[in-house]
Amino acid sequence: MRPVYVVAAAVAPFGKQPDRSAPELGGSAAGNLLRGIGLSPDSVEAGFVGSVYGGSLLAQRVLQRAGISGPPVFTVENACASSGAAAHLAWQAIAAGVYDCVLVAGAENLTAFGSGALPLTSADVEVDQGQVMPAAYAMRAQRYLHETGATVADLTNVTVKNRGNGARNPRAHFQKEVTAADAGASRLVADPLRLMHCCPNTDGAAAVLLTSEGFARDLGTPRTLIRASVIRSGRFHTSFRDMTWPEITERSAKAAYDMAGLGPADLDVVELHDAFAIAELLHAEALGLADRGTAHRAVAGGEFHRDGRVAVSPSGGLLSRGHPVGATGASQLAEAYWQLTGAAGALQVPGAQVALAHTTGGGIYGVDNGACSIHILTAQD
């Protein structure tokens, strides 16, 4: 397999944009990416677009708006890991020597649903009984607090950290710091999660360009090497599920660390799937960033801050940037790319050399999560 590089990234600013469709948002990100590096759309040999709710032929609709018309393109769905999955397929095709230049995008317009929890399929027994994502994560939070001795203040610490990071990110849905008091005063969504412990419903899109080494060299833009690209699906079981342990994240991370020849201690930046504040604690532990049951103490001790041991979601994470589900994976790769190329501006983690991007989702039908994608990128070859 050949080395594969991320050589460019663009994000259509995240936020409430009810008058911009998913194709329009995605087309904006893809078009801005190509214009930003002066690359002809005809140089793009294939496209993979991740989306959950974007509808039929979204890949065509997105890419044609960027002038890409005719090559193999695919709309890929894997719940919140949709554009992580799209990136994985693009990576695989380039690594295999099939293509040299592939555009990956993710796009979603969630305001089309109005507001509230994501619409899930009532064919799932648990959904049919009223289960929604905030409730699923609230149960996980209750159990985590019970098991570890953490308190709601520990959840709030995640929010305060990530909203503080997001305040520096011009691409974030929320660009405003919040205090612990603000979070505590926000309305209760699903006990113990308050509004500020939950990511918002957001419209947005992101795009990254993946290329072979030769193509990257000719293009001449700053580049980062994809050291690992892993997708896994959830293991179905009807017996006891430990809500405090996202087994799929642990399993995917192990495969990614093996592929990269790197471990948690090597990471400078982690863009992690903090759809809810509790998710950062659970996934940080499953990624090996803290021992089990201790991530809340790592947050409280500043270890996950931008200037801490490992910067977790220096972009602000989903809690700040928002979570246009199908776009999130690509946007994390974009944030990692900017960090590793020293282009992260006010968000820059000094000297960042290794970044991990993690998305996971779709977790309420007999599996911990439906899908998980993990990418590990390095600044140097």
Stretch that binds a second copy, among 32-40, 146-154, 202-210, 233-241 (CB under 8 A): 233-241
Q: Tell which positions 88-147 bind a second copy, by CB under 8 A.
A: 88-89, 92-93, 95-98, 120-121, 123
Q: Is 56 in the site for a second copy (CB under 8 A)?
A: yes
User: Taking the complex as a whole, how short is the minimal distance between the CB of residue 172 and a second copy, in angstroms?
Assistant: 25
Task: Give the residue from 314, 272, 313, 331 showing the smallest Cα distance to 107.
Answer: 331
Q: Report how far apart, in Å, the C-alpha atoms of 232 and of each of 246, 250, 251, 285, 323 are.
A: 12, 10, 8, 18, 21
Stretch that binds a second copy, among 5-13, 69-77, 259-267, 327-335 (CB under 8 A): 69-77
Q: d(Cα 250, Cα 246) in Å, to the nearest integer?
A: 7
The structure tokens listed for 304 are 């996950």
Half-sphere exposure in the Cβ direction for 117 (13 Å, CA): 17
Nearer to a second copy, 93 or 145 (CB): 93
Stretch that binds a second copy, among 53-61, 183-191, 262-270, 333-341 (CB under 8 A): 53-61
Q: Please provide the DSSP assignment of 100-133 as one string.
A: SEEEEEEEE--GGG-SSSPP--TTSHHHHTT--H
| 80 labelled catalytic | yes
- By three-state DSSP, how is residue 184 classified? helix
Nearer to a second copy, 2 or 146 (CB): 2
Q: Is 370 in the site for a second copy (CB under 8 A)?
A: yes
The structure tokens listed for 7 are 């050589």
Stretch that binds a second copy, among 210-218, 225-233, 262-270, 335-343 (CB under 8 A): 225-233
Q: Tell which positions 347-366 bind a second copy, by CB under 8 A.
A: 362, 365-366
Residue in 80, 101, 199, 372 annotated catalytic: 80
Q: d(Cα 287, Cα 377) in Å, to the nearest integer?
A: 15
- By three-state DSSP, how is residue 55 classified? coil
The binding site for a second copy (CB under 8 A) comprises 1, 21, 23, 52, 55-61, 63-64, 69-79, 85, 88-89, 92-93, 95-98, 120-121, 123, 230-237, 251, 362, 365-367, 370-371
